[in-house]
Chains A and B, each alone.
Chain A
């Protein structure tokens, strides 16, 4: 029973913003939204996370809707090195229950 729904694949032109959507309509009040990515043949890499406010770091921005039922990861200026599978994960972030359940993710291809 998947907690998140993401498109299977997306393309983005190099230098443009990549907007990756994620639906999590059954999210609970104490669950966070995490984003990871996996570049081919490498281990997943943490990108960003949030609870209900929008977040920004050096890699990306995370926009969470007011009802928290969906979110969007934004890579402001995509490069070829951003080609990867992007995973949106909903999880509790306290105590020992910080398990990540990876779905199928979105294959983002950045085109030259």
Chain B
């Protein structure tokens, strides 16, 4: 099992540009989560999907952020336009719909917006 796959691992972009982060969850997992981690705010849940449907997006900071899950094996997190304060490590995690509901995290994407 390859685990949760995220791409790219590192992204450097200029303010105002569109950024797309990608995630492939573990096969068979029904839930997918996007987190953001910064030194100031720690690890924050942005949005999570269950069976490809967004369940809670209350953690999405503003309209510049959007997430999609077109099928069970792929999700994207898009930032448009990006700002320097979006610089962070973005983690994707997936979880099965049966106990113990543990979340498996990907390696993260380190985003730097200059």
Contacts and interface: CB of A to CB of B under 8 A. Distances in A.
Contacts of B43: 38, 44, 102
A96 B53 CA distance: 11
Contacts of B42: 102-104
B114 interface: no
Which residue among A41, A43, A44, A102 has the maximum number of chain B CB atoms within 10 Å of its CB?
A43
Given A99-B45, A99-B56, A103-B42, A49 B106 contact: no
A99 B57 CA distance: 12
In which size bucket is the chain A interface?
10 to 19
Given A43-B93, A93-B99, A98 B31 contact: yes
Interface of B: 4, 31, 33, 42-45, 48, 50, 55-56, 91, 93, 95, 99-108
